[in-house]
Amino acid sequence: MRVIKRDGREVQFNVEKIRHALEAANAGVTDKLTSNDIEHIISEVVNNCNNLGRTVGVEEIQDIIISELAKAGHIKFMLHYSEYRYRHEMLRKQNSTDAKILSLLRHENELAKQENANKDPIVNSTMRDYLASEVSEDICRRYIFPEDVIRAHDEGIIHIHDLGYVSGPISNCELVNIEDMLQNGTVITNTLIEKPHSFRTACNIATQIIAQVASNTYGGQTISLAHLAPFVDISRQHYREEVRSEFKAIGKTISEDEVNRIAEMRVTKEIKDGVQTIQYQILTLLTTNGQTPFVSVFMYLDEVPPGQTRDDLGLIIAETLKQRYEGIKNEVGEWISPAFPKLLYVLDEDNITEDSPYWHLTVLAAKCTAKRMVPDYISAKVMKRLKGDVYTCMGCRAFLTPDTVGLNPDGSHKYYGRYNQGAVTLNLVDVACSAEGNEEQFWKLMEERTELCHKALRIRHETLLGTPSDVAPILWQNGAISRLAKGEKIDKLLYNNYSTISLGYAGLYECVYRMKGVSHTEPAGHDFAVKVMKFLNKKTAQWREAENISYSLYGTPMEASTYKFAKCLQRRFGKIPEVTDHNYITNSYHVVVRENIDAFSKLAFESELQELSPGGAISYVEVPNMQNNIPAVLSVMKFIYDNIMYAELNTKSDYCQVCGFDGEIQIVEDDGKLIWECPKCGNRDERKMNVCRRVCGYLGVNYFNQGRTAEIKERVLHL
């Protein structure tokens, strides 16, 4: 018989450890067990473990010991043993936390190095954030989440996202209400910021808001360029007056056409400077949690009325795409692809055909995608059908539940200023493996494990209840999310569809394969996949109806968790072909990265499952270098517009700082470990290369764990 230890290692069952624990507890109590009593308890524990017919965990063995003590009537000893067990568990947890903290301080923690593709734990500010996270996680484990939830998290049955943050009153991700903050003013670190009088100033204020918001949350945030567009005409009118005054000062007459022409030149320069400010500020900022703000920028022409403001928004979008196409310079001065900000471009009637007025923007977007992997694309046509409205996602893929009641005071729809409370993900692969392919058992386990997720989500919700707005004034008092009074609690923003809370899911492909023996792209697999998705949606609907909390189903953007789940599955079930035999599991509903399927078939297939993931999802197609085939990129974009709500194209954009190679850095295996290697000079030093890949919706640079690296290596081209 095998046992899974607390550190995740699997070892041979050792009955002497049970005997030692009972004898150690026996030494501290007057109502002692006899040697026969101890042997009887040991015998019953061994029998119980054998009857389970599977590998048992140390904590399970401890639970069985307590149960057998109670059955044998040793109640006083049982209570003493429980206290003894608790004291030692606390000591273990303290020692474990201390060990993790020391490994961070010594830069020896490999898991931290690979936990996030855009965070470098060697940097002091990032390391400090990780240290705080370890303490927070320790508190979560001991005081906030019950033992069954933590055990399920540790065993990879579920995953509580951002466990190092959820002990405190910190929200996840949000749609920042830049419009309110710019038009009505805001406060940043006790300084009143009034409405700006130029586009350039509006851009500067926007970046300060982004930095403040990022320092007060732990997820991604999205801003809209539409909220900056009105300030272009303010600058334009200023420049017109300025030009008139300049020519009047030198005694020259100038026509209004000339005034407008010169003013427009200055507007163009200011738009370029303002967009550059946003890009460079975001890329050079380090928030209090030691990372670049995870920012998405929404580009939707119809967010503003037609006419001058829409044309000005078009100018901002064009400049944003041009600067992103150019890229940024790395430390050796070469142009590379930055990870942030993420760009979101809406495909709509006014930009999707060659004769539409903003087609030129779509062509720019296609060129940018081919070179820099952004923007990503939202189909207004499909989104209106699915959600009745067009609005952006929070961070990389989390979508709000549609505002069907009109949350604004005038009854209109509200999206900006809304947010997500947190997420817990269900490992669908573990459900299927635990059910051993038995469908009746599968649905029974789905009931149990979704309720376990529900329990964890409720706890996350309740940690936010009672939070005073003072904890993050930029969010709750000064307009990013709301304008509550000082001391006012945020509770009303946790209900009534104002904010969402997400039930995530992972590994639909492997789940279906374990249950049906085929991919979910096959008819039998497809039907079962749809049934699973509908079950999960029904669960969130039931919780939402009962509690007035906006639960929603969310296609989890797994990064570190894909590796964690894979390791846990192999530890629990061994290596099952096409199910647990890789160091990653498939993201959400996606077609597995190894499956040969063309881009259009993949997007068409995934569109149905994306519709069943209303809390957030994104699809992608893997493509080769498309810079010389922009018509093909545009064809994919048009297909997205007609068929799927949210999708992206993945290409490669790498650079070797040693030899100057500008192409695809390869992944090679060395002594069982996957390593990035320049195909030209053989450079393997990640500090001397720039690798950019999409890892969880966001682009990631260099810091990839082994599971994610394996997944990247095995991706097939879809075009």
Q: What is the pLDDT of residues 473-512, one digit of tens each?
A: 999 999 999 999 999 999 999 999 999 999 999 999 999 9
The amino acid at residue 456 is: A
C-alpha dist (Å) from residue 487 to 170, 461, 479, 600 = 16, 19, 15, 53
Q: Choose between 625 and 418: higher pLDDT.
A: 418
Highest mean pLDDT among 130-144, 507-521, 552-566, 654-668 belongs to: 507-521
Is 507 found in the same domain as 434? yes
Residue in 388, 392, 387, 461 with CA at minimum distance from that of residue 423:
461
Is 419 exposed, middle or buried, given 0-12, 13-18 or 19+ CB atoms closer than 10 A? Answer: buried
Q: Choose between 134 and 181: higher pLDDT.
A: 181
Does this model's pTM top 0.85? My answer is no
Asked if residue 572 is part of any domain, the answer here is: yes
Asked if residue 558 is part of any domain, the answer here is: yes
Is 454 found in the same domain as 336? no
Is 500 found in the same domain as 425? yes
What does the pLDDT read at residue 8?
45
Site of tokens 């009854």? 411
Asked if residue 412 is part of any domain, the answer here is: no
What does the pLDDT read at residue 408?
80
pLDDT digits (tens, 9 = 90+) for 279-305: 998 888 766 666 778 899 999 999 999
Domain boundary among 586, 619, 643: 643
Is 189 found in the same domain as 80? no
Q: Which helix (H) or strand (E) holds 376?
A: strand 376-379
Q: Report d(CA 631, CA 704) in Å as an integer.
A: 32
**Domain interval for residue 530:** 421-643
Asked if residue 607 is part of any domain, the answer here is: yes
Q: What is the mean pLDDT of the chain?
A: 89
Is 547 found in the same domain as 435? yes
> 77-91, 186-200, 307-321, 373-387: which range is least confident on average?
77-91
Q: Is 250 helix (H, G, I), strand (E, B) or coil?
A: coil
What does the pLDDT read at residue 368?
97
The amino acid at residue 258 is: E
Is 213 found in the same domain as 307? yes
Q: Is the pLDDT of residue 93 over 70?
A: no
Q: Which residues fall within 8 angstroms of residue 252, CB to CB, at 6 or more apart?
A: none
Is 305 found in the same domain as 355? yes
Domain boundary among 643, 663, 682: 643
Asked if residue 439 is part of any domain, the answer here is: yes
Residue in 161, 163, 151 with CA at minimum distance from that of residue 506:
161
Q: Is the pLDDT of residue 610 over 80?
A: yes
How many C-alpha atoms does 381 have within 13 Å on its Cβ side? Answer: 15
What does the pLDDT read at residue 716?
94
Phi, psi of 285 (to 5 degrees): -75, 145
Domain boundary among 335, 368, 387: 387
Q: Report d(CA 357, CA 318) in Å as an integer.
A: 13
pLDDT digits (tens, 9 = 90+) for 12-24: 888 888 888 888 8
DSSP strand E in 39-112: where? 56-57
Phi, psi of 345 (to 5 degrees): -110, 125
Is 220 found in the same domain as 264? yes
- For residue 469, the 8-state DSSP code is G
Is 497 found in the same domain as 353? no
Domain of residue 588, CATH code = 3.20.70.20
What does the pLDDT read at residue 703?
62
What does the pLDDT read at residue 127?
61
Is 381 found in the same domain as 426? no
- Is residue 107 within 8 A of residue 122, CB to CB? The reply is yes
Angle at alpha carbon of residue 58, lines to 16 and 435, rounded to 5°? 130
How large is the average pLDDT for residues 674-684?
A: 93
Q: Choose between 84 and 205: higher pLDDT.
A: 205
Q: Which residues fall within 8 angstroms of residue 284, CB to CB, at 6 or more apart?
A: none
Cα dihedral value 221, 161, 700, 629, nearest 10: -80
Q: Report d(CA 613, CA 488) in Å as an integer.
A: 34
pLDDT digits (tens, 9 = 90+) for 522-574: 999 999 999 999 999 999 999 999 999 999 999 988 777 888 898 889 888 98
- Is residue 28 within 8 A of residue 85, CB to CB? The reply is no
Q: Report d(CA 429, CA 509) in Å as an integer.
A: 8
Q: Is the pLDDT of residue 7 over 50?
A: no
Band (96; pLDDT cuts 50, 70, 90): low
What does the pLDDT read at residue 60?
74
Q: Is the pLDDT of residue 2 over 80?
A: no
Is 510 found in the same domain as 451? yes
Angle at alpha carbon of residue 352, lines to 347 and 358, rounded to 5°? 90
What does the pLDDT read at residue 97?
57
Helices and strands in the chain: count of H runs, count of E runs: 23, 24
Phi, psi of 17 (to 5 degrees): -65, -35
Is 578 exposed, middle or buried, given 0-12, 13-18 or 19+ CB atoms closer than 10 A? Answer: middle
What does the pLDDT read at residue 117?
47
C-alpha dist (Å) from residue 446 to 146, 301, 439, 539, 569 = 20, 43, 10, 10, 17
Asked if residue 376 is part of any domain, the answer here is: yes
Asked if residue 456 is part of any domain, the answer here is: yes
pLDDT digits (tens, 9 = 90+) for 392-405: 999 888 999 887 67
Is 607 found in the same domain as 536? yes
pLDDT digits (tens, 9 = 90+) for 461-476: 999 999 999 999 999 9
Q: How many domains does the chain have?
A: 3
How large is the average pLDDT for residues 668-672?
A: 81
DSSP strand E in 414-512: where? 419-427, 499-506
Asked if residue 462 is part of any domain, the answer here is: yes
- For residue 715, the 8-state DSSP code is P
What does the pLDDT read at residue 121?
58
Q: Report d(CA 657, CA 251) in Å as an integer.
A: 56
Q: Is the pLDDT of residue 120 over 90?
A: no
In the numeric block, which tokens belong to residue 53? 């017919």
Q: Is the pLDDT of residue 651 over 60?
A: yes
Q: In what order do the strands lie in the sheet with 56-57?
A: 10-12, 2-4, 56-57
> 137-141, 293-297, 377-381, 449-453: which range is least confident on average?
137-141
